[in-house]
A and B are shown apart, each in its own frame.
Chain A
Amino acid sequence: MSIGERPITLVDTTLRDGSHAVRHQFTEDQIRSIASGLDSAGIPIVEVTHGDGLGGSSLQYGFSLLEEGAMLRAGAASLERARLAVLLLPGIGTHVELEQALEIGASVVRVATHCTEADISPQHIAMTREAGATAVGFLMMAHMLPPAELAVQAKLMASYGAQVVYVTDSAGAMLPRDAAERVRALRDALDPSVEVGFHGHNNLGCAVANSLAAVEEGATWIDGALAGFGAGAGNTATEVVAAALDRAGADLGSVKLFQLMDVAEERARPLLPSSTTTSRSALMLGYAGVYSSFLLHAYRAADRYGLSAAEILSELGRRKMVGGQEDMIIDVALEMAQARKG
């Protein structure tokens, strides 16, 4: 498959995955400003949720500034053409939060599991389809599973009703070849009516290159966040991947590139904290294959116990922690601090 054969759906997740960068503290005005900017720049899908998905507001992941309903309503009210997406991790969010999101107007639901655990997603995928919304399966930490095994999990999600299945590089640990092999395996295994997506993080500086490699292998849904917002070193920058895909000859549909660049520069970049960059710790996430959302939690634990965040993250990688295990950052930090003393 070559770039340009099938239209690309760009999904912006500044207001979901991007919210890790601001510890889930986006204000209603910021949500309105970014969502309406994305809408007028022709981005077809805008995701708004706590960084850890519906129900993610917690002591474990950090409380959101806004109630979930308020966040979603601010997003929904700002979109004229774009569809509102939400993320749900079964085990964190439940049908209660999903029902509310669907009522408010979410019409794309991304159901995310660790890459080996697709079979915890059928309830929420089915609910999404019953409501007439688009169901997307999201296989997280996909670098941890070889392509053929990942394809088996993708087929499970498709069998539950997922219309798109993502190779999700939550740790920003993939190289272009890794992204390409996984997308190809999914493309080969899935019915042609099921689309394949790619979600990247820039911890190894490869997010845009990985997205291009994914599209070359048939991925048609690509995620980004404006101006490098996101967990870890940031997600694939939406405006950068849009420009690169445009140069590569991709059909980006309604997306207006220059307007998108303006929204990134004028509305998102001023809000971006300096901690979202390819720091030593963010780089360690990619190198050690650690869930990008751990970054700011690791900084906090490092401060509290007088450790380096990079060494905490490297140990978490060694222990093969998966997404959502933020409590283990405290656990590892306590153990390291104790070892220092002892």
Chain B
Amino acid sequence: MTNADAAARVAIVGSGNIGTDLMYKIERNPVLEVAAMVGIDPASEGLARARDRGYRTFDTGAKALEDILDEFDIVMEATSAGAHEANAPLYEAWGKVAIDLTPAALGPYVVPVVNLTEHVGAPNVNMITCGGQATIPMVAALGRVAPVRYAEIVATISSRSAGPGTRANIDEFTHTTARGIEQVGGAERGKAIIILNPAKPYLIMRDTVHALLAEEPDPDAVYAAVAEMAAEVRRYVPGYRLKRDPVVEGERVTVLLEVEGSGDYLPPFAGNLDIMTAAATRVAELWAMSGARAPREERA
């Protein structure tokens, strides 16, 4: 509560890996603060950690927030698509902004470096997928060089970092990511592939963007656009890097990326989870700074 005047107050719904990692990122952010964490399992480690840090916790689901409506501004949801579909009408009725980290995708897709300013006032925004957050900036960067006819991304993550939700609903990842490549990345057609690799030591997340451009690009222009975008993403994901120089063969471009997490709650190899929580925190931060929320006195 050190930055109460500047801060937007965030209720985290979901006390699993993502929700817990969000807690650490939010409390480190100068314009955000944690208002509460909500789970459904009293024994969850995330809730225990939140309690230890002095935050309000609820173990009875999102509805519990009804009792503290004047104590938070934003809800960040890290549950499941089904839970978010059930909870979103509550947030709307309460007049709270929702940042959705599930694949429910009720609101517009957002990638901070590509299209956030278009949606800063939207009541509900969706963070697409980890693969989408990692690769869509590169698709958009290529689009600045030449129109992208087709973009295909391959996200390889450590088996260790894929939770049961992702595993049981793997088609949601491929579909949502492909749609994000088109709608946010600007590719005429998108495709996504996800691969789980169990190797030990655990693999750091790797992402590859294969694209076919409408015309043969100048390789130097490709390098410049891609490097500039990578630097933008690094502002919120410090471990985001171009693993090699992009490969340009005629109209075909291949960009090889590596995403190392910052190791807040999740280990650094789980860059896939980190890029989601970092991007969502960035969205909350920009929302807080945009003045879209009411000044504190009026809320009281």
Interface residues of A (CB under 8 A from B): 55, 58-60, 90-92, 94-96, 114, 116-117, 119-120, 122-123, 319-325, 327-328, 330-331, 334-335, 338
Contacts of A320 in B (CB 8 A): 197, 199
Contacts of A328 in B (CB 8 A): 156, 206
Q: How far is the CA of A334 from the CA of B208 in the complex (A)?
A: 14
- Rounded to whole Å, the gap between the CB of B11 and the closest CB of chain A is 31
Asked if B81 is at the interface (CB within 8 A of a chain A CB), the reply is no
Q: How far is the CA of A91 from the CA of B195 in the complex (A)?
A: 6
Q: How far is the CA of A328 from the CA of B194 in the complex (A)?
A: 14
Does the CB pair A59–B206 fall under 8 Å?
Answer: no
Q: How far is the CA of A335 from the CA of B167 in the complex (A)?
A: 32
Q: How far is the CA of A123 from the CA of B166 in the complex (A)?
A: 11
- Rounded to whole Å, the gap between the CB of A123 and the closest CB of chain B is 6
Asked if B226 is at the interface (CB within 8 A of a chain A CB), the reply is no
- Rounded to whole Å, the gap between the CB of A156 and the closest CB of chain B is 11
Query: Which of the residues A119, A319, A335 comes within 8 Å of B244, measured between beta carbons?
Result: A335
Contacts of B80 in A (CB 8 A): none
Q: Can you pick out 20 interface pairs between chain A and chain B where the beta carbons lie within 8 Å of each other?
A: A58-B193, A58-B210, A60-B208, A91-B195, A94-B174, A114-B197, A117-B198, A119-B167, A120-B196, A123-B169, A320-B197, A327-B154, A327-B254, A328-B156, A330-B254, A331-B206, A334-B244, A334-B245, A334-B247, A334-B256
Query: Which of the residues A322, A324, A330 comes within 8 Å of B256, measured between beta carbons?
Result: A330
Does the CB pair B171–A321 fall under 8 Å?
Answer: no
**Which residue of chain A has the shortest Cβ distance to B169 in the bound complex?**
A123
Q: How far is the CA of A338 from the CA of B247 in the complex (A)?
A: 13
* CB interface residues, B 136-185, toward A, < 8 Å: 150, 152, 154, 156, 159, 162, 164, 167-171, 173-175
Contacts of B167 in A (CB 8 A): 117, 119-120
Query: Which of the residues B170, B196, B206, B212 comes within 8 Å of A114, measured between beta carbons?
Result: B196
Query: Which of the residues A55, A117, A122, A331 comes within 8 Å of B196, measured between beta carbons?
Result: A117
**Which residue of chain A has the shortest Cβ distance to B164 in the bound complex?**
A119
Q: How far is the CA of A207 from the CA of B233 in the complex (A)?
A: 48
Interface residues of B (CB under 8 A from A): 150, 152, 154, 156, 159, 162, 164, 167-171, 173-175, 191, 193-199, 206, 208, 210, 212, 243-245, 247, 252, 254, 256
Does the CB pair A117–B174 fall under 8 Å?
Answer: no
A60-B193, A92-B193, A114-B197 known; A327 vs B256 contact (CB < 8 Å): yes
Query: Which of the residues A122, A324, A335 comes within 8 Å of B195, measured between beta carbons?
Result: A324
Q: How far is the CA of A58 from the CA of B191 in the complex (A)?
A: 8
Contacts of A122 in B (CB 8 A): 168
Does the CB pair A325–B197 fall under 8 Å?
Answer: yes
Contacts of B171 in A (CB 8 A): 90, 94-95, 123
- Rounded to whole Å, the gap between the CB of A319 and the closest CB of chain B is 7
A123-B171, A331-B243 known; A59 vs B210 contact (CB < 8 Å): yes
Query: Which of the residues B199, B210, B247 comes within 8 Å of A319, measured between beta carbons?
Result: B199
Q: How far is the CA of A266 from the CA of B175 in the complex (A)?
A: 42
Does the CB pair B175–A114 fall under 8 Å?
Answer: no
Does the CB pair A119–B168 fall under 8 Å?
Answer: yes
Query: Which of the residues B156, B159, B206, B212 comes within 8 Å of A117, measured between beta carbons?
Result: B159
A58-B152, A59-B212 known; A91 vs B198 contact (CB < 8 Å): no
Does the CB pair B175–A91 fall under 8 Å?
Answer: no
**Which residue of chain A has the shortest Cβ distance to B254 in the bound complex?**
A330
Contacts of B245 in A (CB 8 A): 334
A114-B197, A116-B198, A330-B247 known; A123 vs B156 contact (CB < 8 Å): no
**Which residue of chain B has the shortest Cβ distance to A323 in the bound complex?**
B195
Contacts of A55 in B (CB 8 A): 191
Does the CB pair B256–A331 fall under 8 Å?
Answer: yes
- Rounded to whole Å, the gap between the CB of B122 and the closest CB of chain A is 28
**Which residue of chain B has the shortest Cβ distance to A61 in the bound complex?**
B193
Query: Which of the residues A94, A123, A331 comes within 8 Å of B168, measured between beta carbons?
Result: A123
Q: How far is the CA of A323 from the CA of B194 in the complex (A)?
A: 11
Does the CB pair B152–A59 fall under 8 Å?
Answer: yes
Q: How far is the CA of A121 from the CA of B173 in the complex (A)?
A: 14
Contacts of A322 in B (CB 8 A): 195-199
**Which residue of chain A has the shortest Cβ distance to B258 in the bound complex?**
A331
Q: How far is the CA of A325 from the CA of B152 in the complex (A)?
A: 14
Does the CB pair A91–B194 fall under 8 Å?
Answer: yes
- Rounded to whole Å, the gap between the CB of B138 and the closest CB of chain A is 13
- Rounded to whole Å, the gap between the CB of B33 and the closest CB of chain A is 37
Does the CB pair A116–B254 fall under 8 Å?
Answer: no
